Amino acid sequence: MLEQLTTLLNEHQDAFHSQVPRYRQNRYVQIVVLRETKSHAIFTTEGQTLDVERLQAGLLSRKQIDRVVMYKRKQIAPERRTGKALMRDLGTLGTLQVSSGKKAAKATKAIQPSECQIMGGSCGICPDCILYGFAATTGNGSQRARVLTDSGFVVRDLRQVMRHIKLNAIQDTIAGGIAGSAFAGRENVLPQVFMPTVETLLDVTLPEFLYVLGNILKTTRYGAESNREGFVRNHILGIYWSDVELFSNLELTQRYYDALAAEQDIPDYLDLQHFLGHWPAIESATLGQVTGRTRKMDNLAELLEGVRNLYQDENVLRSLLQELARQSKQYVETVKGKDKEADSDSSEEDAEE
């Protein structure tokens, strides 16, 4: 089954590396992901209000609107957790250990890949660390992320996509004899709200690409309180190979705004078909402005079908994850291990948000 998928991707073979490269070669894979809320969701960093930015509505429409923001960490962290849970579940992290005499790591109580944490306590060896990057907190140096993302923006104005939901908390105390004036409430993003985003993979191998794509397709919970709400469905609009970055999240959102508002004001009701319908025009307008070499995945539906089959077959999946682990390990041992001085280059890994 993996061969079928590999055959499909064979014509794009030169877009992938056979092993994790030492130097940047700007082989980009861009996955355009339309995120759709399927329940109420709370994209806040803290407190009761949504994260909002005032921005130009479209590329053509210069009106200002307030847009709900989904910060990049809010997009990526749940997907990383999906992937790590899978690797843990299929036991491909347990066997991962670097042998090439890492004295420093040993001295500082090296974190085992099975114990690796996204925030602090990174092992520095597992595919998650090597692909999504990690900061210099342990004795393992640091690693730049090769999955690049930005904040995502909702297409419509805040007022069209938000509801303030009061929490039905019963007031236990009555201060000064006046019944509870402190009504707790929270701003929620409504269901069926859309956010076009792109995830850019830089200089990845084929197993790394399939791993990131699987994480995107399998992750369904985002935002605060994601155990109770925040169901998000990720629709893949397109996959592109290039030597430059083709899409930006804000531009995608603004192009969608222009397309949807072309006739009159942007409608209050939007569904997936509106977004799918406008995509070919937005895609070709964007690609038409690119300076660089670009290729598109023509058989997208077939590819996604292949990926679904792959993730249903435990044996094939395990061998993919083993290969992924082998590549990370090889990279750590043969490239990173010999390249320690370069690690002093401080990490740009996501400490923000």
List of residues contacting Zn ion (CB under 5 A): 116, 123, 126, 129
Q: How far is the CB of 138 from Zn ion (least distance, A)?
A: 10
Tell me whether residue 116 or residue 270 sits nearer to Zn ion (CB atom): 116
Rounded (10°) CA dihedral 94, 99, 104, 106: 50
In Å, what is the CA distance from 340 to each residue of 27, 34, 104, 122, 293? 24, 39, 11, 17, 33
Residue type for position 216:
I
Tell me whether residue 33 or residue 129 sits nearer to Zn ion (CB atom): 129
User: Cα separation of 135 and 141, whole Å?
Assistant: 8
User: Cα separation of 90 and 83, whole Å?
Assistant: 11
Structure-token match 């995945």, residue found = 297
Tell me whether residue 50 or residue 131 sits nearer to Zn ion (CB atom): 131
Q: Look up residue 136 and give its DSSP letter.
A: S
Q: How far is the CB of 130 from Zn ion (least distance, A)?
A: 8
Please, are residues 145 and 127 in contact by the beta-carbon 8 Å criterion?
no
> What is the enclosing helix (H) or strand (E) of 128?
helix 127-132
Q: How far is the CB of 213 from Zn ion (least distance, A)?
A: 20
Q: How far is the CB of 113 from Zn ion (least distance, A)?
A: 5
Tell me whether residue 111 or residue 303 sits nearer to Zn ion (CB atom): 111
Tell me whether residue 119 or residue 300 sits nearer to Zn ion (CB atom): 119
Tell me whether residue 45 or residue 97 sits nearer to Zn ion (CB atom): 97
Q: How far is the CB of 324 from Zn ion (least distance, A)?
A: 12
The half-sphere exposure of 85 on its side-chain side, counting CA atoms within 13 A, is: 10
User: Cα separation of 122 and 129, whole Å?
Assistant: 7
In Å, what is the CA distance from 274 to each residue of 63, 84, 317? 22, 34, 35
Tell me whether residue 52 or residue 131 sits nearer to Zn ion (CB atom): 131
Q: How far is the CB of 122 from Zn ion (least distance, A)?
A: 5
DSSP for 286-347 reads HHTT--S-EEE-S-HHHHHHHHHHHHH-HHHHHHHHHHHHHHHHHIIIIIITT-GGGGGS--
Q: How far is the CB of 110 from Zn ion (least distance, A)?
A: 11
Tell me whether residue 40 or residue 146 sits nearer to Zn ion (CB atom): 146
Q: How far is the CB of 116 from Zn ion (least distance, A)?
A: 3
Rounded (10°) CA dihedral 39, 250, 351, 339: 120
